[in-house]
Amino acid sequence: MKLNADIVFEELKKKYTVRMTGPRTPDLTISRPELYLDNEVEFLSNHLYLATVEHLPLHPKLQRNIVIVVIGEGAKLSHYRDKCCLIQIREKADYFLVNRDLNLLFDRYYDWEKELFDIFLATADLQEIIDCSVPVLGRDIHVLDASFRYLTRTNDRTDTASLAPQEISQYLSSFEMIMDRHGAVLLDMDSTQYLCVNLFNETGTYIGCVYLEGNGRPFRDSDNALAEYLGSLIEKAIERNPSMMTSDQATAKNALMNLVNDLPLTANQKWQLNLTSPGQHFVCISMHSANRSSRLPKGYICGAFENAFAGAVAFPKENTIVCFMDVSGLRDREGNYYAALNKKLRQFLRETSGVAGVSNGFSDIHDAKIAYFQAEAAIENGMITNQETDLFYFQSYALISLIINSMGNLPADAYFSERLQKLIRHDKEASVSYLETLRVFLRCSMSFSQAAEELYVHRSTVVDRINRIERELGVDLKDPDTRLLLEIVLKAMEIESLVQEARE
């Protein structure tokens, strides 16, 4: 395995008084040390040389990326400092013992590389890769997927939980939410340092990260390249064995994503969807962020939702997160699931700073797209008409959705007759609102007594007003079509007023 100047420097610093000067690269490019021979003036790129100061030539020919470990002090070193990486052992040291120490260093990393590749060729098991890397790197190592769930971690083969919301929020705050960054990044969280490397698949898509814990010791420059090397091997292991990132649940998730996005299903996806049992009852949940400053990424929220609701699937779609879950296990003795779902959902929304729309229940999983539209309509209309809550059920906003959809692109007043417009103008100038009287009368199923009670007027007053309204509009409220049209128009006016208030 090739190393770099930083790794060599940190190793020699354990035993000798050393200093490092000159240009160097973080890439792992240098091989085992070569003993410098007298009279040689040319130093080759990507080579590591061991020399004593008195044997170095006064006018060397130095190529790029050269590392020279030199024993002793001397004026001729000034010809080297700015042109190559010079690691100077300043006290007296045995030339051959230094060579032995350097070769032992390379042996250690060579053995690690060999063990890693043996694992890669045999099983590509992430836990084995981590277990053999911990003694070499001297750090606890953890691997997370794109949803910030543990794929594996040091000395733990069973715990696949996710980071807690507060942890991931802090993580992303430190990481500045740069999920497409390549290379090692040092993070500070709760007075603890972590060295993080993002993982990507062959298409460049973010698939997770590997991070090393500080374990009470500061990270050195030499750790960066080693963490990146480990990350690249983990990427190859995942590419070789993609099943570690997928499951039947992932297949079902992809099938639901295709249904929602109106894409064709593969044979495997169709087979997975057909495995749903007749007793299952589903809802679709559309989640939006209630706090624009929230740093929780969609991938994390999806994973957290799947952990909180066993068997559920969640995936991002544009500016929302789409979730499907089986609610049959939440039913009470009467068969209702709303109370249990409310309790769990509200807790989850508080933790993730979200709001959600919930579809009507459905049993045929192929109705997923309809349920998605219901959940979206619930949250869109709910956010307009009831901003004091964070959970909206479609059944509570079905009428609003129906009216908005029925109106098309026309405003409510486009459906007003001339006589209704006249009545509206009257209300703006008069102290008595005939529209409000009509709205309450229709809502009370044309009960004069109940309407009078709600309006705090005498029954005869309501009778007189309704008679005048019928004359002004030229209608008979006993006609069901007339009542339906008026109720729709009045509801449309109410919705437009709410939308205007929300905008203001």
240-285, pLDDT tens digit by residue?
Answer: 877 665 555 677 888 899 999 988 887 777 877 777 767 789 999 9
Q: Judge if 152 and 228 occupy the same domain.
A: yes
Residues 252 and 398 in one domain: yes
On whether both 343 and 437 belong to a single domain, the answer is no
For the domain that residue 354 is a member of, what is the CATH number? Answer: 3.30.70.270
Residue 117 included in any domain: no
58 domain-assigned: yes
Selection from 44-58, 177-191, 391-405 with the highest mean pLDDT:
44-58
| pLDDT tens, residue by residue, 332-381 | 888 889 899 999 999 999 888 889 999 999 988 889 999 999 999 999 88
Query: Percentage of the chain surpassing pLDDT 90?
Result: 44
How large is the average pLDDT for residues 58-69? 92
* CATH code at position 154: 3.30.450.40
Give kind and range of the element (H or E) at residue 229: helix 221-240
Claim to verify: residue 198 and residue 330 sit in the same structural domain: no
In this structure, the answer to whether residues 226 and 267 fall within a common structural domain is no
Q: Which domain holds residue 382?
A: 248-407
Per residue in 199-240, pLDDT (tens digit) is 988 878 788 889 898 877 889 989 999 999 999 999 999 888
Q: Last residue of a domain, which of 179, 212, 244?
A: 244
Please count the structural domains in the chain: 4
* pLDDT, position 307: 80
Task: Give the domain-ending residue among 218, 244, 270.
Answer: 244
> Are the C-beta atoms of residues 366 and 300 closer than 8 Å to each other?
no
Is residue 278 situated within a structural domain? yes
Taking Cα atoms as reference points, which of 113, 138, 141 lies closest to residue 127?
141
* In a shared domain, residues 238 and 281: no
Q: Which of 112-122 are b and which e, b meaning 16 or more Cβ less than 10 Å from the residue's Cβ?
A: beebbeebbee
Confidence of residue 187 (pLDDT cuts 50, 70, 90): confident
Please report the pLDDT score of residue 411 as a whole number: 74
Work out the pLDDT band at 70, boundaries 50, 70, 90. Answer: very high
Does the residue 111 lie in any domain? Answer: no
Q: Do 239 and 282 belong to one domain?
A: no
Question: Domain ends where: 228, 244, 260?
Answer: 244
**pLDDT at residue 158 greater than cutoff 50:** no
- Span 14-47, pLDDT tens digits: 999 999 999 999 999 999 999 997 778 899 999 9
* DSSP codes joined into one string, 399-456: HHHHHHHHHTTS-GGGG--HHHHHHHHHHHHSSS-HHHHHHHHHHTTT-HHHHHHHHT
Label residue 295 by pLDDT band (50, 70, 90): low
Instruction: Based on the fold, state whether residues 301 and 316 are members of the same structural domain.
Output: yes
Strands in 84-170 per DSSP E: 85-89, 141-145, 150-153
Same domain? 362 vs 458: no
- Please write the tens of the pLDDT for every residue from 284-293: 999 998 776 5
Task: Establish if 422 belongs to a structural domain.
Answer: yes
Q: Where are the alpha helices (DSSP H) in 123-156?
A: 126-137
pLDDT-derived band at 1 (thresholds 50, 70, 90) equals very high
Q: Do residues 35 and 169 share a domain?
A: no
Neighbouring CB atoms inside 10 A of 388's CB total: 4
Does residue 294 belong to any structural domain of this protein?
yes
- Summary mean pLDDT of the chain: 86
pLDDT for residue 159 is more than 50 = no
Are 274 and 388 contained in the same domain?
A: yes
Read off the DSSP letter of residue 3.
B
- Coil, strand, or helix at residue 314? strand
Domain assignment of residue 108, yes or no: no
Assess whether 237 and 134 both reside in one domain.
Answer: yes
The CATH number for 465's domain is 1.10.10.2840
